[in-house]
Structure 1
Amino acid sequence: MSFRPIMFVGTCSDAGKSIINTAFCRIFKQDGFHPAPFKAQNMSLNSYSTPDGLEIGRAQAVQAEACGIPPESDMNPVLLKPTNEQSSQVVLNGKPVGNMSAKEYFMANNKAELFNQAYAAYERLHARYSPIVLEGAGSISEINLRKRDITNMRMALRTGAATYLVADIDRGGVFASVYGSIALLPEEEKKLIKGIIINKFRGDISLFDEGRKILHELTGVPVVGVIPYFRDIYIEEEDSVSLESKNTRAGSDKINVAIVLLKRLSNFTDFSVLERDERFHTYYTNNVEEIGKADIIILPGTKNTIADLQNIKANGIADAIIRAHKDGKKVIGICGGYQMLGARIEDPDRIEGETTSIPGLGILPLITVMEPEKVTRQSRFQFRNHPDTCRGYEIHMGKTTLLDGSTASSLNRLEDGREDGYLLNDKCWGSYLHGILDNDVVLNELAEGLTQATPTTFNYTDFKNQQYDKLAEHVRACVDLQYIYSTLKTK
């Protein structure tokens, strides 16, 4: 059966569009169809490498997983990765095409060429999957940006998507935000809005029955679902806003793992599995005292290694990490954090900024030179010569080599014969591989010597699939699915 596309847009950022989109990706798969996700433009530091070595936003990779299909760049043709407060790296069809300031990107023109490229990506997906599950970005009613928007209602119009407005009732003002969002749309866009979904409702849903009627009367659009707030379903998040709700302090009865909270921290989903493993208490911090309480300190990835290295030197975190290393704590670096653990980082072409050279933390005998070419690829590897095959992916700029006179000591042997990372000793190593912690052998090695718990065989892939099914069940029970399907039928 062929369907018209469905699109979930929001009254604001963090309304829950990505989660709702993920739920429907799974629902359509469960119902025997072949859905695929699509978001024309994404802004995120949390990205993913596709099997063919291209880069997309993490949310679309998660949604593809919920669909049961491999992620591909057509699912997110335009990705903006902020490098500082003013500019972003622009990734088009999975490959970086340069850096642009916000003014250059958003104000220069109506972005006709980018819009056409994004629509072409949609068309390629639409030829192979049905229904396409589109996601908007932020609010649909930023009327000052409408002519330059390539993600929200402009794309809904071009694709003819049945569009559903998601509103976050938990933050308050739901009537004004829903009414205003729809009222500010031109008539041709209003006609595409087929329903309203109220998200993150706390308490007895029947108490909102009158609210449903009022919203329908105000907007002429039915409320097709009220989704209860949940805490017992775990879906990887893309937006770094979610870091604000995570632990920020050491615990007492588990292995304390401190993730250094960098200003430009990227790919924080590297640590999602640590949050699920009962042996670990994982927290995010830029507090020197909290770093000192940790059993394990992890320097994560970053979109701007040099700027974040300068920052942790200025705020005392760098010295705290060096002290922890000398005190025998475990210190791990991943991607940009791996680069920081070395002796020096050089940027002769000023790729990350005006600083051309900066000393690292000096823990690993390595030098990194930033290079214009970005490495993006998925990898199978063996961790510390362990026989199990592990999986991870690379997204980085820069080449890391040994200091002259230093002894080689690679951490991982990749399936294609390459080597990755550096193993200093049992308590200190670094790697370019994102997702390295998703492998049991790595987690068990991390816990070794710090707990008496039995090594786990936690299958993170199975766990995630269970969560997609739980999410689908949760949303399915709370929406008028028959009505939603009726709006997707093609004439």
Structure 2
Amino acid sequence: MQNKEGLRSIMFVGTGSDVGKSVITAGFCRIFRQDGYTPAPFKAQNMSLNSYATPEGLEIGRAQAVQAEACGIPCHTDMNPVLLKPTTDKSAQLVLHGKPTGNFSAAEYFLSGSREALFTEVKQAYRRLAARHSPVVMEGAGSISELNLKHLDITNMRMAMEAGAATYLIADIDRGGVFGSCYGTMALLTADERDCIKGIIINKFRGDARLFEEGRTMLEKICRVPVIGVVPFFRDIFIEEEDAIGRQQKSKGFLTGKVNIAVVLLHRLSNFTDFHYLEQDHRVNLYYSHEPREIEKADIIILPGSKNTIEDLSALYDGGVVAAIHRAHASRKTIIGICGGYQMMGLQINDPEQVESKTGAIAGLGLLPVSTTMQANKTTRQRKFRFRNGTDICEGYEIHMGETNALEKECPLNRFVDDHNGGHNGRLADGYFLNERCWGTYLHGILDNPAVVDALLAPYTSLPGKAKDHRQFKEEQYDKLAALLRQHLDIQSIYQTLQS
């Protein structure tokens, strides 16, 4: 399959998970856009709790939405036709072309006869995308050398060969073992798969890259493909990651002189990118924790989204976190909830159809006079709104499977401005506002809006907010990433491969 403008697709695969595939893919999306092409990202199958709503109100992996943003185009389900959202350690919700199709155990998903049907859907999505964009910038998943899963592959080398993509292997040198991981990966490929690999990218190198010159030559000799560059480990470029919270965020604690914000570290925490912009605010020290003492010490406690709200809330009760949040609330600390966290803040969560959990109901924290009922239908929609009746038009998105209703007088946090015909399910508003120190919302991305962040921090600091808005900040990061890759990779050789 060739793109209509004659530029081959390009694919980035890995020696393992978390080697930097998503970020490097985003960087190349921006490079191709800067160079006058019309790129689009593609990941056949994504397993992630970090998702996003397309303009059509469908759901894809957040990483592909980020990559589409780097391309300067709206995201679309063809960019991520299959999304798996883990609900427990052994099961996941399958989202196909943006719509949930049910929950499946790992055995049901990987051992069923539906894999070929899924691969057909994946190929059709790729073809539609390749007809509209050039080049398609593809991303693999995990390691490409998992021998026990290769016959079930719909997203790595099988997809690379189907697309005729020039494929580049990414290895993380920071975790060690780069020679073994690269050589072992190449050795376990078939001859046809090895023919797809056009080069190796060494990622996350610390120190002077000249010290790796001999290693680079040795790696090229044993793997029989060129090393097209060594990308340094960086801390000054902020790209939303796919599905991981960095160790540094987990380990950070209370810091004097800052507004301390604790995000409750849930087992099934979803959409952690809700806090990406907040982490960059110079007034803030944000950390993730499930330790009651660390959580209670914070000025602001955020209950984030969850893919299994009832089970995560049960764990918070068992771990003493709920008691710590009640003590913090009594001390006039700020408590807010987003999506599943909003549901947790209410009086009751009911799941009569066992949409997320076999537990039929659980008592909430009782901080807000609302009650939630889980439903099989999922709400996925981008939103524009006014926060607390302010004048600024803010942006966010909904991804949830529950409906929350006020048990007393309705006191919405947000008023929608993007739909004057009753909104989704007839709703014109969102969330519940008890006071400036206690509120909840269904809107992911709400903390990407300066007006919301300034209001959240107002009780704790008089320092002015950031001048740049979130969109401008992200555009600068994509450009910085592209510049870094241009500096350290042989971009000309990549173009020669794509034009051959």
Q: For this structure pair, what is the TM-score category when the shorter chain's length is used for normalisation?
A: over 0.9
CA contact (8 A) 1:345 1:357 kept: yes
Which residue number in structure 2 is paired with residue 124 of structure 1? 128
Unaligned runs of 5+ in 1: none
2:272 partner letter: F
Q: What's the counterpart of residue 425 of structure 2?
A: none
1:110 and 1:165 map into 2 onto residues whose CA distance is: 29
Matches within 5 A, 1:100-115: 100-109=104-113, 111-115=115-119
What is the alpha-carbon distance in structure 2 between the residues aligned to residue 151 and residue 241 of structure 1? Answer: 24
C-alpha distance in 1 between matches for 2:156 and 2:241: 20
Of 15, 20, 25, 1:16 maps to 20
Query: What is the aligned counterpart of 1:472 among 482, 486, 491?
Result: 482
Mapped partners of 1:99, 1:42: distance in 2: 15
Counterpart AA for 2:461: T
CA distance in structure 2 between the aligned counterparts of 1:35 and 1:280, rounded to whole angstroms: 36
Aligned partners of 1:190 and 1:390: how far apart in 2?
48
Equivalent residues of 2:14, 2:21 under 8 A apart: yes
Gaps of 5+ in 2: 421-427
Give the 4+ runs in structure 1 shifted more than 6 A: none
What's the CA shift for 1:247? 4.5
Distance change in 2, residues 1:135/1:206 (3 Å): same
Kindly provide the CA deviation profile for residues 363-421 of structure 1, in whole angstroms up to 9, marking residues without a partner as x: 10111000000000000001111011110000001101122xx1111111112251100
Deviations along 1:166-212, whole A, 9 cap, x unmatched?
Answer: 01111111111111101111111111100111111111111211112
Partner-residue secondary structure (3-state), 1:399: strand
Deviations 1:304-327 (A, max 9, x none): 000001000110101111111111
Residue 278 of structure 1: aligned partner: 282
Q: Structure 1 residues 205-214 or 3-12, which shifts more?
A: 205-214
Q: Report SS of the residue matched to 2:262.
A: strand
Matching of residue 489 in structure 1 with residue 499 in structure 2: yes
Look up the match of 1:428.
Answer: 438
Moved more, 33-42 or 350-359: 350-359
Match of 1:177 among 161, 177, 181: 181
Structure 2 distance, partners of 1:426, 1:154, is: 52
Deviation at 1:239, TM superposition (A): 1.8
Alpha-carbon offset, residue 248 of structure 1? 3.3
Aligned partners of 2:349 and 2:312: how far apart in 1? 12
Letter in 1 for 2:470: Y
- Determine which of 360, 373, 378 is the counterpart of 2:382: 378
The one-character-per-residue Cα deviations of 1:281-308 (angstroms, maximum 9, x if unpaired) are 1110111111121111110000000000
Is the CA contact 2:200–2:226 (under 8 Å) kept in the aligned structure 1? yes
Identity %: 59
Q: What does residue range 87-236 of structure 1 map to in structure 2 within 5 Å?
A: 87-109=91-113, 111-236=115-240
Deviation at 1:242, TM superposition (A): 2.8
Q: Does 1:321 align with 2:325?
A: yes
Cα distance in 1 for residues equivalent to 2:174 and 2:41: 26
Partner of 1:360: 364
Q: Which residue of structure 1 lines up, in the alignment, with residue 429 of structure 2? A: 419
Offset of residue 455 of structure 1: 4.1
Please name the residue that 2:459 is paired with: 449
Q: Distance in 2 between matches of 1:161 and 1:113?
A: 22
What TM-score comes out, normalization by structure 1 length? 0.98
The 3-state SS of whatever aligns with 2:354 is coil
Q: Secondary structure at the match of 2:327?
A: helix
1:301 paired residue among 301, 305, 311: 305
Deviation of 1:265 (Å): 0.5
Cα distance in 2 for partners of 1:244, 1:149 equals 33
Distance across 2 between alignment mates of 1:309 and 1:292: 17
How far is the alpha carbon of 1:244 from its aligned partner?
5.9
Would the aligned equivalents of 2:414 and 2:430 in 1 still touch at CA under 8 Å? yes
The aligned amino acid for 1:414 is F
Distance 1:455 1:163 in 2: 43
Change (3 A) 1:57 1:128: same
Deviation at 1:458, TM superposition (A): 3.1
For the 8 Å contact 2:245–2:272, the answer to whether it is kept is no
Aligned length: 488
Instruction: Report the equivalent of 1:409.
Output: 411
User: Cα 1:183–1:298, aligned 2, differ >3 Å: closer, same or farther?
Assistant: same
Query: Over aligned residue pairs, what C-alpha RMSD do you find?
Result: 1.2
Could you tell me how far 1:426 is from its partner in structure 2? 1.5
Of 74-83 and 408-417, deviating more is 408-417
